[in-house]
C-alpha cells in the first residue's frame, strides 16, 4: 500500500537501518516489504503471507501468544499495526508481550499502532474479527506489566482507516504527519513506542 511509503520515513526515527526487525501480524507485508533494515521477520497465520512477502523476509507462521521460534535477545525492533485488537483476550496479549520482551535486545523497541476505542465507540465493532478493545492507556499498562518502559505514548495519531481503508492523497498524509496539532482532530489510532530496559537482563528475562 502506497501510504506505507510515507509512514515508514516518519516511523524510521525509531528504527535504525542496521536493525533486526519483526513485523508482528505482518499480513501481506505492506510494511515489512518496504522497510530497509538488516534482517526481516514477519509473523502471521495468514496462509497468503508466503506469496506476498519478499524473499528477504523470513515468515514465522505461528500463534503469537505461544513461544516464538526466535532466540533470546535476537531482535532490535518489533513493529505491529492494527493487530492486537484481533487477539481473543488480554491473556493472549500479555503472553505475546512477554515473548516480545524475551526476544528483544536490551534497549530494543516495540512500536505499536492500533485503533483507540476511546475515540471510536461503536465503530470499533464494525469489523467481525475485532475482539480486544484497547486504549493508549490500557495498552501502556499492559506493556509495563510485561516489563517495558514507555518511550512515546500518543492517544491520537492516524485516522481510523488510513492504513487499511480510504487513503487521502499522499501529499496530504505528509502534511498531516508534519503537524501533530492536526492529529487531535482526526486521529483515532494510538501510537506507542516501548523500550526493553537494560535492567531486565539482570532479572533473567
Is 32 in contact with 40 (CB distance < 8 Å)?
A: yes
pLDDT at 125: 87
**Does position 64 have pLDDT exceeding 50, yes or no?**
yes
Q: How many CA atoms lie within 13 A of 87 on its CB side?
A: 25
**Does position 61 have pLDDT exceeding 80, yes or no?**
yes
Is 77 in contact with 21 (CB distance < 8 Å)?
A: yes
pLDDT-derived band at 53, boundaries 50, 70, 90: very high
Q: What is the pLDDT of residues 75-104, one digit of tens each?
A: 999 999 999 999 999 999 999 999 999 999
| Domains in the chain: boundaries | 4-203
What gap in Å lies between CA 75 and CA 195, rounded to an integer?
12
pLDDT-derived band at 48, boundaries 50, 70, 90: confident
Average pLDDT over residues 153-163: 88
* Vertex 7 angle, CA 6 and 12, to 5°: 110
Under CATH, which architecture does the 4-203 domain have? 3-Layer(aba) Sandwich (3.40)
Mean pLDDT across the chain: 93
Give me the sheet containing 39-43, strands edge to edge.
57-60, 39-43, 20-24, 75-81, 104-115, 189-195, 149-154
List C-alpha distances in Å: 29 to 24, 57, 73, 145, 160. Answer: 10, 9, 23, 29, 20
pLDDT-derived band at 203, boundaries 50, 70, 90: very low
| Listed residue (78, 188, 107, 97) closest to 147, CA to CA | 97
What gap in Å lies between CA 191 and CA 186, rounded to an integer?
14
pLDDT at 205: 41
pLDDT at 204: 40
Amino acid at each position: 500500500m502506497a501510504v506505507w511509503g510515507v509512514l515508514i520515513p516518519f516511523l524510521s526515527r525509531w528504527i535504525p537501518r542496521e536493525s533486526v526487525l519483526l513485523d508482528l501480524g505482518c499480513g501481506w507485508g505492506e510494511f515489512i516489504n518496504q522497510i530497509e533494515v538488516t534482517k526481516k521477520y514477519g509473523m502471521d497465520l495468514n496462509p497468503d503471507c508466503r506469496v506476498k512477502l519478499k524473499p528477504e523476509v523470513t515468515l514465522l507462521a505461528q500463534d503469537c501468544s505461544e513461544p516464538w521460534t526466535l532466540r533470546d535477545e535476537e531482535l532490535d525492533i518489533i513493529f505491529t499495526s492494527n493487530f492486537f485488537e484481533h487477539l481473543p483476550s488480554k491473556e493472549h496479549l500479555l503472553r505475546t508481550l512477554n515473548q516480545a520482551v524475551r526476544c528483544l535486545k536490551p534497549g530494543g523497541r516495540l512500536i505499536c499502532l492500533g485503533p483507540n476505542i476511546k475515540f471510536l465507540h461503536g465503530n470499533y465493532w464494525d469489523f467481525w474479527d475485532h475482539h480486544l478493545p484497547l486504549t493508549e492507556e490500557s495498552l501502556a499498562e499492559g506493556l509495563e506489566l510485561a516489563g517495558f518502559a514507555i518511550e512515546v505514548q500518543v492517544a491520537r495519531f492516524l485516522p481510523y482507516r488510513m492504513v487499511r481503508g480510504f487513503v487521502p492523497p499522499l501529499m496530504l498524509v505528509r502534511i498531516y504527519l508534519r503537524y501533530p496539532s492536526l492529529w487531535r482532530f482526526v486521529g483515532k489510532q494510538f501510537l506507542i513506542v516501548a523500550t526493553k530496559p537494560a535492567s531486565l537482563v539482570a532479572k533473567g528475562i
